[in-house]
């Protein structure tokens, strides 16, 4: 680590930074000041522009306007190599390692120690890797391939990489999202020692306990704008949340009170070896049940299995008391289930097809006459649902890829709602969509529940879980570890269960 700089001077500063992608303003007038020997937290809702900011610091995106300074001197980053040369290390939420290469090569890629004839000195590289791991206190083997490392270990490899080039600025984008409690502690110990060695650290997290435990100052962003920067000790969670959301949380979640009817969906002892085990729950007519938990807890895997996309090894799924055959999404659909998947670009939509085609994909057969799909029938059906969901689109025969994320999500919803499901499963229904559309999606879910649909919602956003759900099921490492009623559900109770530290099973 470099020599300790004066605390108080900005090591890396951004001011007036602006960035647009096409018509979307990702960042507008953002400022940030990272000081040596300090952990600076950056918080904001999904879509607030944090990731774009990280990519600017990493040299991946060039800002449209604004300036960066390093130790007071202007800094221009034309690519990731520049950022590294300036001493900026970025650890992404999903570590970016090369799975086929060894851990040591991953750390030193492009900067391998050399010997005669500019050959790579593999012995020196291995030794230095071992030293780095010793400093971090992790017994990883330098020669093993990166493939198969846990996320936590991959992050430690990334940190070792940052150490190896004596990073002066360390940017960590939600590093703890997929870690267990022990792993988070280990990571924090490493981060604290880096801070003490004089590095400037930017820490992005959705977990407020971590933000307050680790950082000295907190910057809040909202809708691509800078909102505030304050010392951590002058803030509390409620203040930060209010600044992030910019309005009272209750307005965001227009949850109607509904009477839960009879049980529609029953899941008993569902097990997929190594992914989840013995998952059992019920969802009633008119109820919204949230499936909460950390990333990697197995929530998406459970809903994929119960819809029949993935196989399961044991257990059963019943709709209206009738057992579904496993591994057959068509059977699940026939029984009245609908699944709005997590990744709409990969799994929810055919990006190149038109909006109307996408919206009617689930009803190809009912809409067809003599096995042929008529354009008119398709269009009429698409029109009904896109109007009902207020999809903002130019023309229905435009490719769905031209829509914004929020409107794409509405098309996915339209596609499934048009099948009149009894059970609607939504996986991260509002990930990556703007606040306005979010509220519309929430209103829609609430309305559907009011009409008697059983809704099962997987969500990583706690406010959404707390705002929408009648009951919260919490998963931790492949098991259902808690069931919390709406009245008892708080950020704390859900988070404790999700991290496996509490919650009554």
Write out the residues near another protein by the rule CB under 8 A. Answer: 58-60, 79-84, 90, 92, 96-102, 105, 109-110, 112, 114, 118-120, 138-141, 143-145, 147-153, 178-180, 182-183, 273-277, 296, 298, 476-479, 500
Cβ pair 427, 434 in contact under 8 A: no
Residue 150 CB, nearest approach to another protein (Å): 4
Cβ distance 6 to 18 under 8 Å?
no
E strands, 382-441, in order: 423-427
* Complex with another protein: residue 120 or 420, whichever CB lies closer: 120
Residue the block writes with tokens 């050399």: 114
Q: Which helix (H) or strand (E) holds 464?
A: helix 462-468
Nearer to another protein, 139 or 376 (CB): 139
Strand (E) or helix (H) holding 479 = strand 479-485
Q: In the complex, what is the shortest distance from the CB of residue 299 to another protein, in angstroms, rounded to a whole number?
A: 13
From the number of C-beta atoms within 10 Å of its C-beta (0-12, 13-18, 19+), residue 236 rates as exposed
CA distances from 329 to 134, 263, 491 (A): 49, 21, 34
Query: Phi then psi for 32, rounded to 5 degrees?
Result: -165, 140
Q: Rank residues 177 and 263 by Cβ distance to another protein and give the closer one.
A: 177
> Is 169:13 a contact under the CB 8 Å cutoff?
no
From the CB of residue 316, how many other CB atoms can be counted at a distance below 10 Å? Answer: 16
> Nearer to another protein by C-beta: 83 or 448?
83
Q: What are phi and psi of 475, to 5 degrees?
A: -110, 145
Distance CA(177)–CA(482), nearest Å, equals 19
Indicate the residue among 148 and 394 with the shorter CB distance to another protein. 148
Residue among 119 and 395 whose Cβ is closer to another protein:
119
- Minimum distance from residue 149 beta carbon to another protein (Å): 8
To another protein, the closest distance from the beta carbon of 433 in angstroms equals: 23
Q: Is 112 or 401 the residue whose CB approaches another protein more closely?
A: 112
Q: In whole angstroms, how close is the CB of 27 to another protein at the nearest point?
A: 19
The CA–CA distances, whole Å, from 281 to 54, 338, 472 equal 39, 18, 11
The minimum distance between CB 87 and another protein, in angstroms, equals 13
| Residue 375 C-beta: closest distance to another protein, Å | 32
Alpha carbon distance 461, 291 (integer Å): 11
Shortest distance (Å) from residue 141 CB to another protein:
3
- 208, two tokens: 């407020």
Both tokens of 421, joined, read 């499901």
- Minimum distance between the CB of residue 240 and another protein, rounded to whole angstroms? 29
Please choose, from the candidates 104, 50, 471, the residue with its C-alpha nearest in 3D space to the C-alpha of residue 286.
Answer: 471
Alpha-carbon dihedral sign for residues 365, 368, 371, 375: negative
Q: Which is nearer to another protein, 151 or 435 (CB)?
A: 151
Number of other residues whose CB lies within 10 A of the CB of residue 223: 18
Q: In the complex, what is the shortest distance from the CB of residue 56 to another protein, in angstroms, rounded to a whole number?
A: 13
Q: Closer to another protein at the Cβ: 55 or 243?
A: 55
Q: How many CB atoms lie within 10 A of CB 114?
A: 12
Taking the least distance from each CB to another protein, the nearer of 412 and 498 is: 498
């Amino acid at each position: 680590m470099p020599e300790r700089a004066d605390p108080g001077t900005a090591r890396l500063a951004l001011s007036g930074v602006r960035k647009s992608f096409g018509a979307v303003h990702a960042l507008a007038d953002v400022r940030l000041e990272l000081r040596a020997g300090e952990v600076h937290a950056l918080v904001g809702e999904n879509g607030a522009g944090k990731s774009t900011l990280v990519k600017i610091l990493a040299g991946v995106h060039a800002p449209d306007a604004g300036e960066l300074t390093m130790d007071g001197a202007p800094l221009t980053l034309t690519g990731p190599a520049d950022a590294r040369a300036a001493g900026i290390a970025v650890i992404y939420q999903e570590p970016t390692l090369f799975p086929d290469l060894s851990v040591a090569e991953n750390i030193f890629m492009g900067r391998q120690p050399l010997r005669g004839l500019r050959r790579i000195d593999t012995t020196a590289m291995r030794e230095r890797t071992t030293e780095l791991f010793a400093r971090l206190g992790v017994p990883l083997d330098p020669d093993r391939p990166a493939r198969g490392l846990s996320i936590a270990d991959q992050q430690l490899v990334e940190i070792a990489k940052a150490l190896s080039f004596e990073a002066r600025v360390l940017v960590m984008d939600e590093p703890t999202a997929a870690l267990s409690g022990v792993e988070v502690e280990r990571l924090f110990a490493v981060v604290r020692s880096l801070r003490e060695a004089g590095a400037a650290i930017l820490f992005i997290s959705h977990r407020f306990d971590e933000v307050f435990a680790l950082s000295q100052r907190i910057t809040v962003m909202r809708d691509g704008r800078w909102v505030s920067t304050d010392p951590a000790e002058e803030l509390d969670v409620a203040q930060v949340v209010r600044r992030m959301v910019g309005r009272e949380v209750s307005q965001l979640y227009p949850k109607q009170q509904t009477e839960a009817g009879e049980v529609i969906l029953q899941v008993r002892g569902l097990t997929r070896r190594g992914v989840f085990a013995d998952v059992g729950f019920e969802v009633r007519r008119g109820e919204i049940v949230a499936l909460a938990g950390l990333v990697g807890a197995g929530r998406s895997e459970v809903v994929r299995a119960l819809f029949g996309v993935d196989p399961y090894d044991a257990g059963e799924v019943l709709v209206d008391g009738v057992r579904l055959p496993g591994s057959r999404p068509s059977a699940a659909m026939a029984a009245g289930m609908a699944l709005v998947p997590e990744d709409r670009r990969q799994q929810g939509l055919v990006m190149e097809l038109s909006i109307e085609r996408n919206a009617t994909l689930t009803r190809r057969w009912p809409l067809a006459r003599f096995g042929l799909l008529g354009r008119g029938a398709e269009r009429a059906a698409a029109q009904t649902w896109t109007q009902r969901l207020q999809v903002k689109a130019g023309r229905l025969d435009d490719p769905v890829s031209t829509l914004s994320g929020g409107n794409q999500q509405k098309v996915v919803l339209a596609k499934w709602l048009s099948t009149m499901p009894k059970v609607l499963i939504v996986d991260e229904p509002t990930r990556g969509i703007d606040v306005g559309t979010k509220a519309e999606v929430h209103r829609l879910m609430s309305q559907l529940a009011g009409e008697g649909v059983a809704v099962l919602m997987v969500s990583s956003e706690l406010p959404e879980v707390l705002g929408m759900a009648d009951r919260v099921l919490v998963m931790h490492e492949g098991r259902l570890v808690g069931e919390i009623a709406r009245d008892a559900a708080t950020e704390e109770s859900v988070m404790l269960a999700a991290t496996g530290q509490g919650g009554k099973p």
